[in-house]
Structures are given as structure tokens and as C-alpha cells.
């Protein structure tokens, strides 16, 4: 199991606004601006939605074993 940070992503298509919140409902959009930008740029998404999940950051070094941060 990978360890990450719990997050809710709220996407409002009408206003084209993305907000991220921690498990304690603290706004955390500034921590992951690339996620907000990614969803705002998706023109084929036509409905508003909320995603609830885990953000896991990793990188693959030359040996192929992910490094979790």
C-alpha cells in the first residue's frame, strides 16, 4: 500500500473552479496547484463533480523502485 494524503477535489464546471480540501476540510488547493490546473484545462468535462481519494507523490529512479515522498 502506498501512503499519501487524503484529498477531496471539488470541480465546478459552470465557474471553472477547482478546490482541494484535506480530510479535515481545510482548503489545500495551493499545495497542489498542478491538479487544479489539470482539471480546469479539461474542456471535455461537462459536469461538476467531487472526487474523494488519496494523492500519492512518487518518482521512478533508474532501478525502477518508486520513491514515496
Q: Which SS3 state, helix, strand or coil, does residue 48 take?
A: coil
Residue 25, by phi and psi: left (phi above 0), alpha (psi -120 to 50) or beta?
left
- Catalytic, out of 1, 15, 24, 47: 1
Contacts of residue 47, Cβ cutoff 8 Å, sequence gap at least 6: 13
Is 1 an active-site residue? yes
Catalytic positions are 1
Amino acid at each position: 500500500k502506498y501512503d499519501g494524503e487524503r484529498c477531496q477535489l471539488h470541480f465546478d464546471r459552470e465557474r471553472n473552479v477547482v478546490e482541494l480540501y484535506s480530510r479535515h476540510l481545510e482548503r489545500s488547493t495551493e499545495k497542489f496547484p498542478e491538479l487544479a490546473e489539470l482539471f480546469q484545462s479539461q474542456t471535455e468535462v461537462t459536469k461538476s463533480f467531487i472526487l474523494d481519494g488519496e494523492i500519492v507523490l512518487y518518482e521512478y529512479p533508474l532501478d525502477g523502485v518508486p520513491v514515496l515522498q
